[in-house]
Amino acid sequence: MDELELEIKILIVDALGLEDIEPEEIDSNERLFVEGLGLDSIDALELGMEIQKKYGVKINSETENVKEHFASVANLAKFISSAKGA
């Protein structure tokens, strides 16, 4: 498993207090919102703040790509990597 993807999964579980799921149980390509993991808009805000804090990337909720960036762990990893210039 990609190290950044695992970090993001741990961040999701910890930041959102998902007590009934282990980070390793989250599929990197699984949808995070509505279907899949079933997160909601409040979860999105919390997750966005934690990602900004941990990785120092700016997330502009005005851009159309935000929904796509937050669609899955794999998409978040690509977004964070590109935002950090990695």
- Digit-coded pLDDT (tens) for 2-50: 999 999 999 999 999 999 999 999 999 999 998 889 999 899 999 999 9
pTM (predicted TM-score): 0.89
Q: How far is CA 30 from CA 27, 66, 71, 75, in A?
A: 5, 16, 8, 10
Whether the pLDDT of residue 63 is over 70: the answer is no
Question: What are the phi and psi torsion angles at 67 (to 5°)?
Answer: -60, -40
Whether the pLDDT of residue 86 is over 70: the answer is no
Structure tokens at 17: 């207090």
Whether the pLDDT of residue 59 is over 80: the answer is yes
Grouping H, G, I as helix, E, B as strand and the rest as coil, residue 20 is coil
DSSP 83: H
* Nearest CA-CA partner of 70 in 56, 85, 41: 41
